[in-house]
Amino acid sequence: MKTVTIIFLSLFLFATQANAFVTGIVAKMAYENIPAKEKAWLKKDFQKKFGSKPKSSSKKSQKAR
């Protein structure tokens, strides 16, 4: 009984990882096909929602250290 559950769990984990991998590829392909104007809009929208700042400030933080 234990071996059956172990096999089932390993198959389930493999399926979820493969699903996430395929979803990532599809999302990347979809993002590459979006026009540049819409990409900029998406970035601004994402920054509004999640409050993330652009990564250009990394040089400033290195100088402060």
The confidence score (pLDDT) of residue 53 equals 61
CA distance linking residue 34 with residue 44, whole number of Å: 15
What single letter denotes the amino acid at residue 42?
A: L
At CA 26, angle to CA 20 and CA 27, rounded to 5? 85
Model confidence, pTM: 0.36
> CB-based contacts of 31: which residues, under 8 Å, 6+ apart?
39
pLDDT 10s digits, 45-62: 877 877 766 555 555 555
SS3 at position 35: coil
